[in-house]
Structure 1
Amino acid sequence: MTGQDVGTQLVPGIDPDLNHRLLTGLEAVQRRLNEVVDHDDAFIAGAARHLSDAGGKRFRPLLTLLAAEVGASMPEPAGATQDEVAARVVDAAVSVELTHLASLYHDDVMDEADLRRGVPSANVAYDNSTAILVGDLLFGTASQVVSRLGAEAVRIQADTFVRLCAGQIRDDRPVPPHADPVEHYLGVLADKTGALIATAARYGAMFSGCDVETTRLLTQFGEKLGVVFQLADDLLDVASDHEESGKTPGTDLREGKATLPVLLVRGSTDPGDDRLKELVAGPIEDDADLREALTLLRGHPAMDAARAQTLRVADEARALLAPLPEGPAVQALQILVDGVALRSS
């Protein structure tokens, strides 16, 4: 698995039997992931496993398994045995994780970061060209896996990939004229992060037998949760150190990315913010300037405002679960929202 054992509590306070099933499911996901990323060429196999072997919480596969638990009490899909349903859910979870891993290889090249999950980033461990090509290979592998799940799953995967890439492109571009910067940014997050997490939940619901309305609600929930996840991640880039996050702090600031705290600072009319506004106006190349920007931003009200926005979106995500029947899986999803939202506190 990913460093987890039978005593691991995946979501604090959840039903012990559910936790056991999720651990068992993640073991199956990890075995299948290891199987599909293997390659006859030892170099390719090692490069493809680099970020997967570094660990990670397998957040997206966990969400697929949790969404499938919501459908566990519903009739099994027509013509499918329990084992077949479980295998499809695992393949769906693997395809989502492969897509995520592939995007990380590309992110490492774009971010020029040194660390990812506490190990050298893909571009450092290999080189830019290799990192890009391995990312492409993993995207292709995800497509191979999802092709086993039927035409509808393939279409969803394609739509998700388009949104993910479009969101990343928009994230690297200036805010369009006359657009509200914060609303634009939230829309970008819905595409570049929310779309894939929405698909993780959607696949779990689809392949476990959830009805159309339940699948729709869980898909919308996944997208909101993805926005919360990215907002919290952006806050962590400022608030945490590399021992906590496994990433180089201030990476977004160094690259000049306009995350929510930065957008709020840029919109400030307080003369006392002039120095910070100067520092975050674009990429920060000087190490001393980066340290100064981190210090000033960590103590700025923009961080509290960004945290408040994160909690508001978390409330919206939780509200989507209200129509679903109560049970251990829905309760775990509610707890999961809080865990994601409060990572940056």
Structure 2
Amino acid sequence: MRRCIIDITGFFAGQPLDIDMGRMGHILTAESGNEHPHLDEIQGYYIKVRGKQLRPILAFAPWYLRHPGTEIPVSVAGAGAVVELLHTGSLYHDDVMDGALVRRGQPSANAKWGDSQAILAGNILTMRAFAQSATLGERAHTATLRTYERMCAGQSLEIRFRFDTTRATDNYLQASHGKTASLISLACRLGAQLSDYDAHFVDRFAQFGESLGMAFQICDDILDFVADPVLLGKSTGSDVLEGTYSLPLIYALEKDPSLAELLTEQMDPRLSAQVSERVRACGAVDRAYAVAGTYIAEATDVLDDLPDSGPCDPGVLAGLRALSGEVLRQTQLLTPAEAPLGSTTVA
């Protein structure tokens, strides 16, 4: 297995990302703290072990496009904290709903403290996100509230169709737009709004985030069928057992309808490896990867249009293009060398 080592910040050389991340981190820590020690420990658990921080970086990007090499204003740092708080709060809720035992290579919060405590921690972080967005102006606050509604609606749609082997592609895409792409789009929207771009640019950059978010979700779903759980930092094969039938499995069921016989609420966990093998064998993973590629193409098309809305630093634009491509490259790097993506002929 090839090891995937990713440094998103490397795509924005010359930008004061370390300083700006530190400023955002101060806001994040202040907003996520709690006067009750036990609850403070729980709600700080995922904050302390952060992921790639894609969302705050995207919130900073509009500022860097017109002010390369210049530190972001406090409002943009606050936007980064808003999306990171919303994202982190959603992780607690997702892990409870999924019954996940591992998050970022460590025991999940619900596994460590129980479902009820994890839900409360997620609730508090979400509330803190709303409190922070309220300090950024009415437009930012309204956009944050609408996005959280989309996130909940997308997750609700996915839950409604658990263990449904007839789930349609459109249903999956609609849920993904809500539960994942909407928050990445919000990061882009808030960053552009608070960097004083016009409405056209704000909408276009938000669309960039939406398309990038869709590719991000599809690739994450692909990894559940192909990745090494140690490198991924969470369990693989869990979506099938939980009844969350994502795009690769939807495509596999079209090619191999007999797979439905294995997909039940009482499915033997030992069968998940067999399901993953059959999904890979019929070309469904490659087909889903191609769809992710179309979303990345949409995102980069938007980047090509951005200079029409005003001056944009070419180095930052190049970084955003590289970041977009990294979503696909990361999926390839976490795929076994003996079965690379694109190796299967898709009929």
Tell me which interval the TM-score lies in, with the shorter structure as reference length: 0.7 to 0.9
In 2, the alpha carbon distance for the partners of 1:214 and 1:344 equals 30
- Tell me, yes or no, if the aligned pair for 2:8 and 2:323 is still in contact at 8 Å: no
Residue number in structure 2 paired with 1:194: 181
RMSD of equivalent CA atoms: 2.1
- Paired residue secondary structure (1:322): helix
Residue number in structure 1 paired with 2:277: 295
Q: How big is each residue's C-alpha offset from its partner over 1:139-191, in whole Å with a ceiling of 9 and x where there is no partner?
A: 1111111111111111111100110000000111239x9x9811221122111
Write out aligned runs for 1:305-320 (5 A).
305-320=287-302
Structure 1 unaligned spans of 5+: 1-7, 74-81
Out of 58, 72, 76, the position equivalent to 2:53 is 58
- Paired residue secondary structure (2:234): coil
Out of 217, 226, 247, the position equivalent to 1:260 is 247
In 1, the alpha carbon distance for the partners of 2:93 and 2:38 equals 18
Q: Which amino acid aligns with 2:205?
A: L
Change (3 A) 1:180 1:319: farther
Residue number in structure 2 paired with 1:130: 117
Query: Is 1:40 aligned with 2:35?
Result: yes
In 2, the alpha carbon distance for the partners of 1:284 and 1:159 equals 37
In 2, the alpha carbon distance for the partners of 1:28 and 1:122 equals 26
In 2, the alpha carbon distance for the partners of 1:206 and 1:98 equals 19
Structure 2 unaligned spans of 5+: 1-5, 333-347
Superposed displacement of residue 284, structure 1: 6.0
Residue number in structure 1 paired with 2:24: 29
Residue number in structure 2 paired with 1:90: 77
- Paired residue secondary structure (1:208): coil
In 1, the alpha carbon distance for the partners of 2:193 and 2:130 equals 18
Q: How big is each residue's C-alpha offset from its partner over 1:210-257, in whole Å with a ceiling of 9 and x where there is no partner?
A: 222111110011011110110010011111122111110111111111
- Paired residue secondary structure (2:67): coil
TM-score where L is the length of structure 2: 0.86
Displaced runs of 4+ in structure 1, greater than 6 A? Answer: none
- Tell me, yes or no, if the aligned pair for 2:241 and 2:272 is still in contact at 8 Å: yes
Q: Which moved more, 1:102-111 or 1:143-152?
A: 143-152
In 1, the alpha carbon distance for the partners of 2:137 and 2:280 equals 48
TM-score where L is the length of structure 1: 0.87
Write out aligned runs for 1:69-80 (5 A).
69-72=64-67
In 2, the alpha carbon distance for the partners of 1:219 and 1:49 equals 29
Change (3 A) 1:284 1:224: farther
Q: Which moved more, 1:236-245 or 1:288-297?
A: 288-297
